[in-house]
Chains A and B, each alone.
Chain A
Amino acid sequence: MPAETIAIHVRDLVVGFDRHIVLDRLSLDVRAGEIIGLVGASGGGKSVLMRALIGLLPKRGGQIEFPATADGEIGRRGVLFQQGALFSALNARQNIQFPLREAAHVSEALLDEIANAKLEMVGLSADDGDKFPSELSGGMTKRVALARALALDPALLFLDEPTSGLDPIAAGEFDSLIKTLQRTLHFTVFMITHDLNTLAAVCDRVAALAEGRIVALGPLSSVLKSDHPWVKSYFHGARAQMLHLETT
């Protein structure tokens, strides 16, 4: 782990809809260069937290700061949405080129080369670039979406359930892809996941969200020892997984 610079600094964040408070004075620090995994009950506010961090949801109070990146640099953040959110009117290569094409005037040849490079980095071939989102399988969609999220080489990458809907083999491959890319490109990853294998294999730290706050934070081994009732039932409910986690 490099020096303790903070990539995302959240203090007393409050987010709610109407009279319903989803995040209640939530505080969290994400270190630069780490992969942090967020777990929480369905409907418990994981996506709300991520959308608030990205800026898609307004906050009622508190602070969100990105000390490691300059303000207003949208290209410094990449987001992998759960369903990929690829633009259906564009093929895979055009999807990856889109952020770059909007940001600068670059020759078509260079755009193609960069897009092909990204495709190969996420484990696809340049031939897949001609396919449209409707022609891609679930795993390929996630890979293309990841390549698009990485189009401008963001310092901060948000992943919303990156392995959901993938079979265990594809999920495992995707996990190691994220890990490899993170080692190569040194970005910070904030991911929502329910996949205990992903938590164990990829995440440096795990944050557990319950009752609108972070109730446990740390390496998986220490979060497993947490006394919080929700965290206990979450990790101890999946017994088979638990056995697997404890032996590794």
Chain B
Amino acid sequence: MTNPPQLTESGDKLTTLHPSGAWTAANVEALERLCERAPGGRVGAIDLSGVSALDTTGAWLFEKLARRFSTPSAQIAFVGVPDSYSGLMREMQGVNRRKPLARRHGSALLDFMERLGRGLAAETASFLQMLGAVGIALLGVLRHPRSLRLTSTIYQLYRVGWQAIPIMVLITFLIGAIIAQQGFFHFRKFGAESYTVDMVGILVLREIGVLIVAIMVAGRSGSAYTAELGSMKMREEIDALSTMGLDPVAVLILPRVAALVIALPILTFIGSIAGLYGGGVVAQFYGDMAPAIYIERLREAVSLTTFKVGILKAPFMALVIGIVACSEGLRVQGSAESLGKQTTTSVVKSIFLVIVLDGLFAVFFASIGM
């Protein structure tokens, strides 16, 4: 390790290379340079007697030198190989004889398009598959109502509904307050402050209330579903259920999806009220508008239709979140890494789909005049 590696040559017609010093991984930078600068021409032999230390890296470099200078007619001979290294040198003769199979190289754009297409097809298929499985399980429950897992459904309802109320109220309250503050601040410039109430009322009831609540539920409960089902999949609990003749969809997934479909409209209602309340608080303390006037304006601005448009979307969004979360959970493979990946995918995908769905509903409601 202390003596630096060197490479000298001797002989006139057929040269012999004389490496010396430590040919080990610790000196690999110097060794690579030495080998690159190795004299060309006719090398007959490599004399290893001067090498003080040798490891796999060094031995491979010798073998590589030998292959470089060898011709089919004249093989390079290793001379003076110390006994302790002869096994290693023999081992090296066999390695790297075959080029590893090159990976298929296509056009990057085509590859990207192919992956995109296949990915989209697979995602759609798995979504529809889960939707179908839940539908079949639901039919089974409708035919035999006693087969509904009531305890499990109630427990899930408690988790995704009741326990979610405080955070939903807090977030929608703040959002309502922020919208009202922005409204008063900007509408004040042209004396249209009273229209702030219209904006808060319509925005919160039609769009923001349900959207914020759905996004929060996707992050809070959707991810929990994926993680739970994923860890059950990892520990083969789901396979164990199947072997007992039980349908995992009916036992695990239907109660979860049903609980979400029931809970999300309720949370949306509570959230919307909290949002309107937040707007009212800002109206009183920032916009100098008495609560009675705020309520009066609100009554004029919003109708039952406004509320219905918002609340009607909630069960569909809940269905999308539940289906995505459960199908991602069942796609978890054996490793903990895959669990984390699917949970992230689940949240991102369900938030994306919730927003797309909201857009589709906007088009739908506009075309039917609601």
Do residues B55 and A117 form an inter-chain contact, with CB atoms below 8 A?
no
Closest 4 CB pairs of A and B: A153-B55, A126-B100, A117-B95, A184-B87
Determine the distance from Cα of A51 to Cα of B61 in the docked complex, in whole angstroms. Answer: 34
Q: A113-B64, A114-B57, A121-B56 are in contact. Are A105 and B29 (CB under 8 A)?
A: yes
CA distance A186 to B56 in the complex (A): 11
Q: Is B28 touching A134 in the complex (CB atoms < 8 A)? A: no
Q: Known: A116-B96, A117-B96. Contact between A127 and B32, CB under 8 A?
A: no
Q: Does chain B have a CB within 8 A of A103? A: yes
Contact flag A184-B96 (CB < 8 Å), given A117-B60, A134-B333: no
Q: B96 near A126 (CB under 8 angstroms)? A: yes
Bitwise, A118-141 to B at CB < 8 A (1) or not (0) is 101100011101100010000000
28 contacts between A and B (CB under 8 A): A88-B337, A104-B25, A106-B28, A106-B29, A106-B32, A107-B32, A110-B61, A114-B56, A117-B95, A117-B96, A118-B56, A120-B96, A121-B56, A121-B95, A126-B96, A126-B98, A127-B100, A127-B101, A130-B103, A134-B333, A134-B334, A134-B335, A150-B56, A152-B25, A153-B24, A153-B56, A153-B57, A185-B56
Contact with B along A98-113 (1 / 0, CB 8 A): 0010011111001001
B84 within 8 A of A: yes
Q: Is B91 in the interface zone, CB < 8 Å from A?
A: yes
Interface size on B, residues (CB 8 A): 31
A104-B56 in contact (CB<8A): no
| Residues of chain A lying within 8 A (CB to CB) of residue B60 | 113-114, 117
Q: Complex formed: what's the CA distance from A152 to B24 in Å?
A: 8
User: How many A-B residue contacts, CB cutoff 8 Å?
Assistant: 76
A residues in contact with B338, CB < 8 Å? 134
Q: Do residues B32 and A110 form an inter-chain contact, with CB atoms below 8 A?
A: yes
Contact check, B29 vs A116: say whether CB atoms are below 8 A apart.
no
A127 to B100, CA, bound (A): 5
In this assembly, does A70 line the interface, its C-beta being within 8 Å of a C-beta of chain B? yes
A151: nearest residue on chain B (CB-CB)? B25
Give me 5 other A-B pairs in contact (C-beta within 8 A), A103-B28, A120-B94, A125-B100 excluded.
A118-B56, A126-B98, A127-B100, A153-B55, A183-B87
Q: What interface size band does chain A fall in? A: 20 to 34
Main secondary structure of the interface of A (DSSP, over half): helix
Report which B residues bind A (CB closer than 8 A).
1, 24-26, 28-29, 32, 55-57, 60-61, 64, 84, 87-88, 91-92, 94-96, 98-101, 103, 333-335, 337-338
CB A53 to nearest CB in B, in angstroms, measures 22
Which residues of chain A are near B99, meaning CB under 8 Å? Answer: 126
Binding site for B on A (CB under 8 A): 70, 73, 75, 88, 100, 103-107, 110, 113-114, 116-118, 120-121, 125-127, 129-130, 134, 150-153, 183-186
Identify A153's interface contact among B25, B91, B337, CB under 8 A: B25
* Nearest neighbor of A150 in chain B, beta-carbon distance: B56
A129→B24 CA distance, assembly (Å): 23
A95 to chain B, nearest CB (A): 15
Instruction: Write out the residue numbers on chain B whose beta carbons fall within 8 Å of the beta carbon of A185.
Output: 55-56, 88
